[in-house]
Amino acid sequence: MTTATKTIEELAEQKYKYGFYTDIEADKAPPGLNEEIIAFISHKKGEPDWLLEWRLKAYRHWLTMEEPKWPKVQYEPVDYQKISYYSAPKKKGDGPQSLDEVDPKLLETYAKLGIPLNEQKILAGVVAVDAVFDSVSVATTFKDKLKEMGVIFCSFSEAVKEHPELVRQYLGSVVPPTDNYFAALNSAVFTDGSFVFVPKGVRCPMELSTYFRINEMNTGQFERTLIVAEEGAYVSYLEGCTAPMRDENQLHAAVVELVALERGTIKYSTVQNWYPGDEEGRGGIFNFVTKRGICKGDDSKISWTQVETGSAITWKYPSVILRGDRSVGEFYSVAVTNNRQQADTGTKMIHIGKDTRSNIVSKGISAGRSNNSYRGLVQVNKGATNARNYTQCDSMLIGNRCGAHTFPYIDVRNDTGRVEHEATTTKIGEDQIFYLQTRGLSEEDAVSMIVNGFCREVLAELPMEFAVEAQKLLGISLEGSVG
């Protein structure tokens, strides 16, 4: 690594030129962010020139931007020059050397979730994926099947190499590189992510990523995902993992773009459980994500479902631009915060096409000294005749040191639009917990059951296998929050 640092520094002094770094063997870029580093990343990944240009444009724009501040989220400022923006896929020896070196609390959680030892080692960063997990064969089998149907599902890097024309057509078409501070940063330095393309009329026969989710973990802190469903295509995509994941990288700024053409449907489900830090929030991850989909064609549909339990700070607003007539946007969310966690999450539904509909169900659960905010925008544009939105926002408080906040922004510019908003705040009832306890359930199981009941409408949207895990997860996330 020191050699690499040196090389980069030396190179930085020289006149900057493309194609200069091809034979650098470094595994990791030195900390810092500048055009050379970006070129280094791009070359490491063997990218075409247009993509490097695209990254540089994003970077130059980022330099002109200011980091956003929100009233309900507080954190120490991030020093962007201290981050290393590229590291080759992890090898053994980078992280802790054995499970003994890992936070025992984390291991306890793994055990409760019933995660096999081998997977625990991967999740805790003790070993690299390829060291123990021979999922390659499984993955290829499914990939072959998908290929037959014309479905492309691969890493973003692979897509850049194999399908550059598709990537070029859609990359940044939903979240422009200049969109916001973190999206600009991501556009400049993203290293990998996933790419999905489902061609016209094809219904993707499986939930994507179920079989791959362990493998996807090392895609780094600036992940880039692009999913395209062509005319009449359908795809359901799962992101994340219920097991808490550790990462040395504190800042995560992913970008996810979804494009649904006429009658296309994309269902995107997330279970996010990044390390929230210890009880005081130390060492937790900042999760600043930009997720947006466009219902480009008529009768298309995009549905976001998320279960957010991890991270020290979560900042994300999966959104849908409803451009096609009769297109539908949905957002189902559960956000749990405990201890010192902070979550500011919600959605934006932008109605542009006629007869467009959006449905928002948000369930926020706060415990400990955490803060949980719903922030949502429903915008009905002038031409969006007969647009409909229904928003339901429920908060549950556990204990009396936590906070729940709701910020619904409504902007209707067409008289025929109908926007409905309902919000409730409840405290988890001591009497409910007692009732369940008198039937033999432990206090923790009782809390978990009540919370799961509270979130039922959202959990019902998750694919079956994920739903079961998510239920367990909610209980575990709230352990020790009562009594």
Contact set with another protein (CB under 8 A): 429-432, 434-443, 445-446, 449-450, 452-457
Nearest to another protein of 383, 453 (CB atom): 453
* Residue among 148 and 431 whose Cβ is closer to another protein: 431
CB of 346 to another protein, least distance (A): 21
Helical ranges in 369-442 per DSSP H? 430-437
Q: Which two tokens stand for residue 317?
A: 């607003």
CB of 455 vs another protein, minimal distance in Å:
7
Six-digit token string for 397: 């408080």
Q: Nearest approach, Cβ of 457 to another protein (angstroms)?
A: 8
Q: Distance between CA atoms of 125 and 109, rounded to whole angstroms? A: 15
Between the alpha carbon of residue 343 and those of residues 72, 74, 374, the distances in Å are 8, 10, 8
Residue 379 forms beta bridges with which residues?
350, 411
Compare residues 116 and 453 and give the one whose CB is closer to another protein: 453
Query: Which among 366, 273, 268, 251 is positioned nearest to 318, based on CA atoms?
Result: 268
At residue 416, the 3 state secondary structure works out as coil
In the bound complex, what is the minimum distance in angstroms from residue 433's beta carbon to another protein? 9
| Helices 35-44, 49-63: crossing angle, 10 deg rounding | 150
Nearer residue to another protein within complex by CB, 233 or 334: 334
Cβ of residue 427: shortest distance to another protein, in angstroms? 14
What is the rounded distance in angstroms from the CA atom of residue 409 to the CA atom of residue 401? 26
Indicate the Cα dihedral angle 116, 121, 125, 129, nearest 10°.
-80
Q: What is the largest CA-CA distance in the chain?
A: 75
- Cβ closest to another protein, residue 79 vs residue 431: 431
CB atoms within 10 A of CB 463: 16
C-alpha 393/C-alpha 275 separation (Å) is 26
- Nearest Cα neighbor of 268 from 305, 233, 231 is 305
Q: Copy the structure tokens of residue 387.
A: 């647009």
**Strand partners for 254:** none
The least distance separating another protein from the CB of residue 435, rounded to whole angstroms, comes to 4
Q: Please report how close the Cβ of residue 476 comes to another protein at its closest, in angstroms.
A: 16
Nearer to another protein, 276 or 475 (CB): 475
Are 421 and 408 in contact, with CB atoms under 8 Å apart?
yes
Nearer to another protein, 384 or 458 (CB): 458
Least distance from another protein to the Cβ atom of residue 363, Å: 10
Shortest distance (Å) from residue 436 CB to another protein: 7
User: Of 123 and 455, which has the nearer Cβ to another protein?
Assistant: 455
Contact 481, 366 (CB under 8 A): no
- The Cα-based distances of 323 to 2, 178, 229, 326, 476 in angstroms read 51, 21, 15, 9, 40
Q: Using the minimum distance from each CB to another protein, give the nearer residue, 47 or 461.
A: 461
DSSP state of 206: S
